Amino acid sequence: MKTYHRVPPAELFTYVKQELVHRVLRLMFGGNFREAHEHGIITECADLIARRWFPWLVCHSTDYPERFVTLHS
């Protein structure tokens, strides 16, 4: 506001939020997570057998509640 002497448009805030989410996701899923996702994590279990585990990312998303109720009632 100091530079342009007006309030930034709402589209700018939408864009900045989107960029922030993308950068956070890159930090979360880069490095160690990517390595574990591609090659697994080897751990020794209680029965002394080494097993390879792969992390899963589960995402649940739904549409607006009104539609969910009408489709599944």
Whole-prediction pTM value?
A: 0.48
pLDDT tens digits, one per residue of 6-22: 888 889 999 999 999 99
Residue 36 burial by Cβ neighbours in a 10 Å radius (0-12, 13-18, 19+): middle
For residue 22 the two structure tokens come to: 């993308």
pLDDT tens digits, one per residue of 29-51: 877 888 888 899 999 999 999 99
Residues contacting residue 42 through CB under 8 Å, at least 6 positions apart: 50, 51, 52, 53
What pLDDT is stored for residue 16 in this prediction? 93
Helix axes 10-29, 32-39, angle to 10 degrees: 60
More confident call, 73 vs 20 = 20
Residues contacting residue 52 through CB under 8 Å, at least 6 positions apart: 40, 41, 42
Predicted confidence (pLDDT) at residue 72 exceeds the cutoff of 60 = no
